[in-house]
Structure 1
Amino acid sequence: MAFFKLKLHWQILIALVLAIVAGLLAGREAALLGVSVYSIFDFIGQLFLNALKMLIVPLVVSSIIVGVSGIGGSRNLGRLGAKTIGYYVLTTLLAVLAGLFVVNLLQPGVVEGSAQEVFGLSAERAGFEAQFADKDAGDIVEVFLRMIPTNVVAAASAGQMLGLIFFSLLYGYYLTRIEGDHAKVQGDFWNGMFAIMMRITDLIMRFAPLGVFALVAKTVADSGIEVFGPLALFFLTVVAALGIHFFITLPLLLLLAGFNPLRHYQAMSAALLTAFSTASSSATLPLTMESLEKNAGVSNRTTSFVLPLGATVNMDGTALYECVAVIFIAQAYGIELGLATQITVVLLALTTSIGVAGIPAASLVAISIILAAVGLPLEGIGLILAVDRILDMMRTSVNVFGDSCGAVLIAKSEGEQGILQGPARG
């Protein structure tokens, strides 16, 4: 079929458009031969997500160990680490400031009447107050404590990626400190595992269009379009702020480094569309690595260090969303936040986007922490739940694009040649 001869990103884009149509037509009630269409979407989508998540632990461990052992000495590792963290802090701060600017400009929460009346805050949604009431800044400290796991196997099983990354960094570093047969055997093993994981990634990505179709169709069937009415301006505010970071800030960084941003968008298109459908930076990691190495020409030495770390701690879109959401909730309740409080929101959004990224419903937990810190009602989380899933998909794409730009910029700073040169492969 002609469809399967198209490049992967075109296949995914077509699947995404068809999914929106299918989701709107099917809703939650339609059935096919007595089987709920919604349950079919859910089943196929979960299969695809499970396949991607299956890759994460062995891929992250093998890629970091191979990358760090390839970097060599502590001086090189320290230099690369400093560049990576420095870039992540800079871009996350720029993203949060973009969100702060747009939400203060558009003021989506400033409405006539009470927040409950205008935004339809129900008792059920307000129940989320209890769920997040025990979250405070101490949760950030607890997450950072998990950077050093007491049991690395348990950390891998629980999906605690910070601990897994820390262990893999140590393992890769000390692989360069042993000699003889042990070093060769270990090096061959981890290089072989990484090569196998990339082959499995290729296999799973052949089914990406089907997985994307199911995931997006399920989301559209769940949400419909009616939920956007009262929250339209908040939705557009977040989208506008994400757009500034995605289409202006990050491309400017690429331009300043001498790269063509359009070429990078093309190279990363399949990964970005997959990130949108899965709403998971970690689940998209295999394709992000593959796109950067095959399409952008970044070395495995750089991607294997920068990307797994970025998928865990670099959350530009998430930090931006946290800032906009908190200011929006304050506006909805008629609470004016002063300059000092808004600066506090910026700093907390920057910190929590790193610290709680591995927690389920990470953005909602982070928002509850910030709300508590600045004295806003926690039930305000209920105001944004209706559109949170769609915005989650968008901010994940921004997160992934930020990681990929970092890999390109850091690769150039390390003296790599041929980056973003030849034609992209789908």
Structure 2
Amino acid sequence: MSVLKMKLHWQILIALVLAILIGLLIERDTGIFGVTLYAIFDFLGTLFLNALKMLIVPLIVSSIIVGVAGIGDSSNLGRLGGKTIGYYAMTSLFAIVVGLLVVNIIQPGMVEGSAEDVFGLSASKGELEAQFADKGAADIVEIFLRMVPTNIVAAAAAGQMLGLIFFSLLYGFFITRLNGNLAQTQLDFWNGVFEVMMKITELVMRFAPIGVFALVAKTVTDTGLEAFGPLALFFFSVVIALGIHFFVTLPLLLLLVGGVKPSRHYRAMGAALLTAFSTASSSATLPLTMECVEKNAGVSNRTSSFVLPLGATVNMDGTALYECVAVMFIAQAYGIELGLATQFMIVILALLTSIGVAGIPAASLVAIAIILSAVGLPLEGIGLILAVDRILDMMRTSVNVFSDSCGAVIIAKSEGETGILEQDGPIPARA
């Protein structure tokens, strides 16, 4: 099997191992033909981060507009739609708050020494501290003001994503209020933009192994293996937070709101969860998720066919949690203590950007770049988490899929459906 035919996660793993080995073997001034390898790593890593940044505005705008317009166009929107959106907003918010609490308690990025010495980051701590020094609780009001920018184009150019996301939500909603051909023309256009951006995203992610190699090799050349201690702590912080949401929050919702036994639902969703873990794609897992929810859990096709496809698009509990923890970790790595206003902004942005994250591997890197830009942290911080992103991607995708399936069960029960999770074996689906 050639390297190009390998699955992306194997390519990234190989790149990671090679980056660590080469970073340990060379010095910062090691070079060929008068160019240092460190400078080459820096160039390739910056190029990869620039490519991610290039995707931010068109991808987030098109995905949110298409998602919202699709919801509004559904004949099932009404009561079922309201319950679905309410459930997804609630569970995503729960997940983000869990992640925020865990990362504030463990503080994986807080280390002795400067960000440059420990992590190989170049941004000045002094400049960043000055930027965040005046932030306080009163700035929460400013966050809401930023949701309505005076110039949407200028807001996009300046990286003020909160206003752009709010505008996209409004735009998508009012597409559904247009008549006939006008609505279809708008929807076709934004669908086309979204599909093009997905293809460009896939192209950029093909170069992820090179970006990972360059960013990790640069860090190891600078710091040795010193940066991997905090990285391991970050990894376990995310795992702990995901575990709390997966094994505590969602089962409690099943038990208290849905009135079903969580253990039966875990068994019913086994195949879908394993597929989600191996593919790291909630979209790719969707057919199997629907089969498990209908045949094993006993939810009707009427409910599952509305709740689950919508969930694969907008309900990303694990992703929202991960975005929050990752941004807080990067801030801690720079030695920045984020105030209440900035943490509140991170929660809001994680909630909103998780709606627009595509259900494909590593798509959350784009959302993390959005949040970093919005709160004023350098994008180079993404390089810190790339080494463990893939395995965490697999875990958070499983959480995303499980949350979707829990939503289908809870909403079906609220709609008066019977026979849901009343036995452990497969249950025939009802029309």
**Counterpart for residue 237 of structure 2:** 241
Alpha-carbon distance, 1:98 to partner? 3.8
- Among 246, 251, 257, the alignment partner of 1:250 is 246
**Counterpart for residue 70 of structure 1:** 70
**Counterpart for residue 212 of structure 2:** 212
* Structure 2 unaligned spans of 5+: 119-123, 252-261, 290-307, 351-369, 412-431
CA change 1:360–1:68 in 2 (3 A) is closer
* Structure 2 CA distance for aligned equivalents of residues 185 and 389 of structure 1: 40
* Structure 1 CA distance for aligned equivalents of residues 196 and 145 of structure 2: 32
Query: Any conservation in 1 of the 2:286–2:312 contact (CA below 8 Å)?
Result: no
Structure 2 residue 403 is matched with structure 1 residue 409:
yes
CA change 1:364–1:318 in 2 (3 A) is farther
Structure 2 residue 346 is matched with structure 1 residue 353:
yes
The within-5 A match list for 1:171-320 is: 171-226=171-226, 238-246=234-242, 249-250=245-246, 256=262, 258=266, 259-260=269-270, 261-268=273-280, 291-295=281-285, 297=287, 301-306=310-315, 315-318=323-326
- Normalising by structure 2, report the TM-score: 0.63
Name the % identity.
42
Structure 1 letter corresponding to 2:346:
S
Alpha-carbon distance, 1:35 to partner? 0.7
Query: Any conservation in 1 of the 2:66–2:190 contact (CA below 8 Å)?
Result: yes
SS state at 2:314 partner: helix
* Structure 1 unaligned spans of 5+: 110-114, 269-290, 331-344, 366-386, 417-426
Alpha-carbon distance, 1:155 to partner? 1.9
* Structure 2 CA distance for aligned equivalents of residues 393 and 131 of structure 1: 28
The within-5 A match list for 1:107-122 is: none
**Counterpart for residue 46 of structure 1:** 46
* Structure 1 CA distance for aligned equivalents of residues 401 and 249 of structure 2: 12
* Structure 1 CA distance for aligned equivalents of residues 385 and 12 of structure 2: 19
CA change 1:324–1:396 in 2 (3 A) is farther
* Structure 2 CA distance for aligned equivalents of residues 166 and 38 of structure 1: 41
SS state at 1:62 partner: helix
* Structure 2 CA distance for aligned equivalents of residues 304 and 166 of structure 1: 17
* Structure 2 CA distance for aligned equivalents of residues 216 and 94 of structure 1: 29
* Structure 2 CA distance for aligned equivalents of residues 185 and 346 of structure 1: 44
Could you report, residue by residue, the CA deviation over 1:371-402 in whole angstroms, capped at 9, with x for unpaired residues?
xxxxxxxxxxxxxxxx9974697689869965
Aligned residues: 341
* Structure 2 CA distance for aligned equivalents of residues 185 and 89 of structure 1: 34
Query: Any conservation in 1 of the 2:155–2:163 contact (CA below 8 Å)?
Result: yes
Alpha-carbon distance, 1:264 to partner? 2.7
Higher mean C-alpha deviation, range 152-161 or range 387-396: 387-396
Structure 1 letter corresponding to 2:88:
T
CA change 1:93–1:130 in 2 (3 A) is closer
Structure 2 residue 166 is matched with structure 1 residue 166:
yes
Query: Any conservation in 2 of the 1:28–1:221 contact (CA below 8 Å)?
Result: yes
* Structure 1 CA distance for aligned equivalents of residues 13 and 327 of structure 2: 27
Alpha-carbon distance, 1:182 to partner? 0.8
* Structure 2 CA distance for aligned equivalents of residues 53 and 74 of structure 1: 37
CA change 1:139–1:179 in 2 (3 A) is same
Query: Any conservation in 1 of the 2:28–2:38 contact (CA below 8 Å)?
Result: yes
* Structure 1 CA distance for aligned equivalents of residues 374 and 387 of structure 2: 13
Structure 2 residue 156 is matched with structure 1 residue 156:
yes
Query: Any conservation in 1 of the 2:137–2:340 contact (CA below 8 Å)?
Result: no
The within-5 A match list for 1:74-89 is: 78-89=82-93
The within-5 A match list for 1:95-110 is: 95-99=99-103
Higher mean C-alpha deviation, range 6-15 or range 17-26: 17-26
**Counterpart for residue 369 of structure 1:** none
Could you report, residue by residue, the CA deviation over 1:331-379 in whole angstroms, capped at 9, with x for unpaired residues?
xxxxxxxxxxxxxx998796353257756487898xxxxxxxxxxxxxx
* Structure 2 CA distance for aligned equivalents of residues 96 and 17 of structure 1: 30
Higher mean C-alpha deviation, range 50-59 or range 6-15: 50-59
Alpha-carbon distance, 1:40 to partner? 1.0
Structure 2 letter corresponding to 1:413:
G
Structure 2 letter corresponding to 1:84:
Y
Structure 1 letter corresponding to 2:153:
V
* Structure 2 CA distance for aligned equivalents of residues 50 and 364 of structure 1: 16
CA change 1:407–1:149 in 2 (3 A) is farther
* Structure 2 CA distance for aligned equivalents of residues 391 and 209 of structure 1: 13
CA RMSD of aligned residues (A): 4.6
**Counterpart for residue 61 of structure 2:** 61
CA change 1:191–1:303 in 2 (3 A) is same
